[in-house]
Amino acid sequence: MTTMTAIGSYAGLPIDDPDALQDIEVAIPELRPHDVLVRVHAVSVNPVDIKRRGSLSPSATPVILGFDAAGVIEAVGPEVSTLAVGDEVWYAGDVSRPGTNAQWHAVDERIVARKPKSLSFKDAAALPLTTITAWESLFERFGLGADSRGDLVVLGAAGGVGSAMIQLAKELTGVRVIATASREDSRRWALGLGADVVINHHDLRAQALEVAPDGVDYVFSPHSAGNIETYAAITRPFGHITAIDEPEGLDLVPLKAKSIAWHWELMFTRALFSYDMITQQRLLTAAADLVDRGALRSTISTAIDDFSAAGLREAHRLVESGRMIGKVVVHR
């Protein structure tokens, strides 16, 4: 067999257009020396999938989207040393290579790890990208550890990254987690994951200062546009902010008077620059152990049993709605 089924996009079309994502047939990917070939059992859809699909220019060659995946290794490249055929794995992919919305997927072993033994493929697929983002934000950008104290504001706490960050912060640090949510169902979700306090991000300045009158130490920002002056008001001097978005014209000057540090987080950086890639495998291995110990739970909230263009279009619609709690997974 030389070809496989996949779901591709030829242009950045609205998701209600049947051509936005199409069932296609393409060649099975060739393996690079450090690649493993994974038979994909489940994927999840993240905001980055929506953003990437919307930015595509018309092309005669389809783009295969998808980052999160869980599946089984069926072949390995000649230099693979950490994984083997038959391993059940999970990972978050590489933005510079074809994605996981396919029957088979080639990915560098150094950003892949064995999945939690206690999770099904669909439950595992919900976690990798958001867990890596939350982990790198907490422990690499903020530099938190078991002895860390202070207040951490997690904006968008009911989303994928927020859901992982609450759990990791409560399990592995001593900070107080102040989550934000604007709906009752998302408030309950954040509290259920372990948030100490939940406030409404539509009244962020007043409510944050009510629960932390002297200001907070750390802010995780998935939506930074229009919030910089508020962040300056609620963050203590020498505090830290980590952002995962990149709005145009962002003015950080209001943070200067308090010497507030601004960090960027992009979980694709290691793969993009072939920099310390094995750290991502170690991170996912540690996360799998947390799952199997019951300290980190899957954030799946919706499962679509239809690994096709139709199933992925529905998943994209749900994420685009902006009302998702947790993660949506598409599985076989």
pLDDT in tens, 121-157: 999 999 999 999 999 999 999 999 999 999 999 999 9
166-191 mean pLDDT: 97
The pLDDT of residue 141 is: 98
Mean pLDDT on 178-192: 97
d(CA 309, CA 47): 17
Query: What pLDDT does 174 receive?
Result: 98
What are the boundaries of each domain within the chain?
3-127+276-331, 130-264
Q: Which pLDDT tens digit goes with each residue over 52-80?
A: 999 999 999 999 999 999 999 999 999 99
Question: Model confidence over 241-295: pLDDT tens digits?
Answer: 999 999 999 999 999 999 999 999 999 999 999 999 999 999 999 999 999 999 9
pLDDT at 30: 97
Report pLDDT for 191: 98
Residues ≥6 apart with Cβ < 8 Å to 214: 236
Within 10 angstroms of residue 75's Cβ, the number of other Cβ atoms is 15
Burial of 291 (0-12, 13-18, 19+ CB in 10 A): buried
Which residue in 115, 133, 138, 154 sits closest to 268, CA to CA? 133
On the question of pLDDT at 1 being above 90, the answer is: no
Token pair for 173: 């640090």
| Cα separation, 54 vs 72, whole angstroms | 30
Q: Please check the confidence at residue 234 and state whether its pLDDT lies above 90.
A: yes
Q: Give the list of residues 6+ apart from residue 91 with CB closer than 8 angstroms, or none.
A: 38, 68, 69, 107, 111, 112, 113, 128, 284
Task: Compute CA distances 99 → 152, 176, 276, 308, whole Å.
Answer: 33, 37, 21, 14
Mean pLDDT score, 222-232: 97
Binning pLDDT at 50, 70 and 90, where does residue 165 land? very high
Domain 3-127+276-331 and domain 130-264, same fold? Reply is no
The average confidence (pLDDT) of the chain is 97
Write out the CATH class of domain 3-127+276-331: alpha beta
Closest to 128 (Cα-Cα) out of 157, 98, 160, 170: 160
Catalogue the E-assigned strands of 151-297.
Answer: 151-154, 176-180, 197-199, 216-221, 235-243, 261-264
What does the pLDDT read at residue 168?
98
The structural architecture, per CATH, of the domain 130-264 is 3-Layer(aba) Sandwich (3.40)
Report the distance separating Cα 155 and Cα 195, nearest Å: 12
Count of other CB atoms within 10 angstroms of residue 322: 8
Average pLDDT over residues 12-31: 96
Residue 178 in this model has a pLDDT that exceeds 90 = yes
Task: Give Dmax over CA atoms of the chain in angstroms.
Answer: 64
